Structure 1
Amino acid sequence: MVRRRRADLDRLYALLADLADRVGGARKLKHCTGYMDWPDRGVYVFFAPGETRSPDQHRVTRVGTHAVSAGSGTSLWDRLKGHYGTGAGSSAHPHGGNHRGSVYRERVGEAIIERHALHDDYPDWGTRWSGVDGDRGAVRDEEYPLERRVSTYIREQPFLWIDLDDEPGPDSDRAFVERNAIALLSNFERSTVDPRADDWLGRHSRSRKIRASGLWNVAHVDEAYDPTFLDRLERAVEGTTPP
């Protein structure tokens, strides 16, 4: 089983290397804008800078998609922009963000809090607005320094995207690829393959699934994977072009 999983991981990373060649290399969010010609729908893959499984292969750190609820109109850039946060032109909180609108941002912020013992500084981090006492504007101001740190961290992660445009829904090809890619990459409660670096920020996460899986994902890390997703991913890679 471990041998099969390792072979499937090698194929996944080979497909991602092919994808990188097709789009001119991985991007970083700090260099991206909504004016680029992004596909309407797709799957995205973030990598950990400085962590490699071979001399030229960065290790995957998060897999995501969007519009998996029937009728959803969220675009690929909408989701990426949520992780990016606010721009330089934001009058109140430039280069900040809204972690309550991005689970990725929320989890990175949690790990920073745990690593640096910042619990007293950010007592409401991760709490939905309905559970926050006091003025929301004041809470946003208090959380702004951490939102900036999260933005800096995420915007430095190289990422690739796969053009995979089908109707929104839990049975979409995008959901199928995302779910199974996460399950394949995850080391949660199974023999470890491609372990993360000891200093990976996610090791400080409050979530055992993040700490043990080696991914900034919680959903699907404890599931078995269907290797046929790699065939669907391969076809999608072949149809992906630079933005």
Structure 2
Amino acid sequence: MARRNDLDRFYDLLDDLAHRVGGTRKLKNSTGYMDWPDRGVYFFLEPGETRDSTGQLRVTRVGTHGVSEGSSTSLWDRLKQHYGTGSGSSDHPHGGNHRGSVYRKRVGEAIIEKHDLTDDYPDWDERWSSIGRERSVVRDEEYILERRVSTYVREQPFLWVNLDDEPSADSDRAYLERNAIALLSNFEKRSIDSRGDGWLGRYSRSREIRDAGLWNVNHVGERYESGFLDLLETAVDDTTPS
């Protein structure tokens, strides 16, 4: 009962956040020229994935950026990695680099499994250092899948909060990300807000993703601290439209 109540409060805070920033955004309509906060935490939701009790769109990924000490990565820098390449890219427009975005990598894996494309993309899970062939050849081979990933990711509504603290594993941003994932996750817990049969994540190779109902792997099996919701509420109050 306590977790359900905390989930209700979490989603109510996201509703407040959406009201403050003028609604959710989609990456397909976002640019770096918008007034993004330097640092923050983001929440991707998914069309068709709703909560059992309220019909609110369900969060399917939580993330932040630059939590290593000394990092200068901004919120938009991280969102741009998920977005991929734009129309002006000379060689691979509307593609991307899944080796720079775990979100893109996991979505691509699920597409491969769903459509039995393993033979078409043998290197998708490999790091560049493990691939013996020329990178340009592999990029060309993976381009069509990168485009499919871009199409999927760019259609996911998302929200963000301003949380401008110094990069650190102990930062407020890392604390908020970790606890939000742990709260939302159904991994090895009683299921709340069941995942739809059509959710792409059900095809993931990762049991954590399939069972948690999130595109996250880290923190899905951890306990959460309810106090993080107070931090989220403060961050919501500090967030303005981009």
TM-score norm. by structure 2 comes to 0.98
AA in 2 matched with 1:225? Y
- How far does residue 50 in structure 1 lie from its aligned partner after superposition? 1.6
1-structure distance, mates of 2:125, 2:100: 10
- How far does residue 214 in structure 1 lie from its aligned partner after superposition? 0.2
Query: Do residues 39 (structure 1) and 37 (structure 2) align?
Result: yes
**Which is further off, 194-203 or 147-156?**
194-203
| 3-state SS of 2:146 partner | helix
| 3-state SS of 2:105 partner | helix
- Aligned match for 1:15, one of 13, 16, 26: 13
What aligned pairs does 1:173-188 form with structure 2 within 5 A after superposition? Answer: 173-188=172-187
- How far does residue 83 in structure 1 lie from its aligned partner after superposition? 0.1
**Which is further off, 31-40 or 53-62?**
53-62
Corresponding residue number in structure 2 for 1:29: 27
Residue by residue over 1:8-40, the C-alpha shift from the partner in whole angstroms, topping out at 9 and shown as x without a partner, is 000000000000000000000000000000000
AA in 2 matched with 1:115? K
- How far does residue 55 in structure 1 lie from its aligned partner after superposition? 5.6
1-structure distance, mates of 2:48, 2:127: 33
Residue by residue over 1:129-176, the C-alpha shift from the partner in whole angstroms, topping out at 9 and shown as x without a partner, is 011121110100000000000000000000000000000000100000
2-structure distance, mates of 1:117, 1:62: 24
| 3-state SS of 2:186 partner | coil
2-structure distance, mates of 1:202, 1:69: 28
Corresponding residue number in structure 1 for 2:63: 64
Indicate conservation of the 8 Å contact 1:30/1:155, yes or no: yes
| 3-state SS of 1:125 partner | coil
2-structure distance, mates of 1:236, 1:76: 14
Structure 1's unaligned 5+ residue stretches are: none
- How far does residue 57 in structure 1 lie from its aligned partner after superposition? 1.4
Indicate conservation of the 8 Å contact 2:94/2:147, yes or no: yes
- How far does residue 56 in structure 1 lie from its aligned partner after superposition? 5.3
- How far does residue 177 in structure 1 lie from its aligned partner after superposition? 0.4
| 3-state SS of 1:49 partner | strand
What aligned pairs does 1:92-131 form with structure 2 within 5 A after superposition? Answer: 92-131=91-130
2-structure distance, mates of 1:56, 1:6: 14
CA RMSD of aligned residues (A): 0.7
Matched-pair identity in %: 73
2-structure distance, mates of 1:241, 1:11: 20
1-structure distance, mates of 2:194, 2:31: 33
AA in 2 matched with 1:16? L
Corresponding residue number in structure 2 for 1:142: 141
Structure 2's unaligned 5+ residue stretches are: none
1-structure distance, mates of 2:156, 2:125: 22
AA in 1 matched with 2:119? D
Indicate conservation of the 8 Å contact 2:179/2:225, yes or no: yes
Indicate conservation of the 8 Å contact 1:99/1:126, yes or no: no
Indicate conservation of the 8 Å contact 2:50/2:193, yes or no: no
Q: For this pair of structures, how many residues does the alignment match?
A: 241
Indicate conservation of the 8 Å contact 1:29/1:156, yes or no: yes
Name segments (4+ residues, structure 1) moved above 4 Å.
Answer: none
AA in 1 matched with 2:167? P
TM-score norm. by structure 1 comes to 0.98
Cα 1:110–1:65 shift into 2, 3 Å: same
- How far does residue 76 in structure 1 lie from its aligned partner after superposition? 0.1
- How far does residue 199 in structure 1 lie from its aligned partner after superposition? 1.0
1-structure distance, mates of 2:54, 2:211: 24
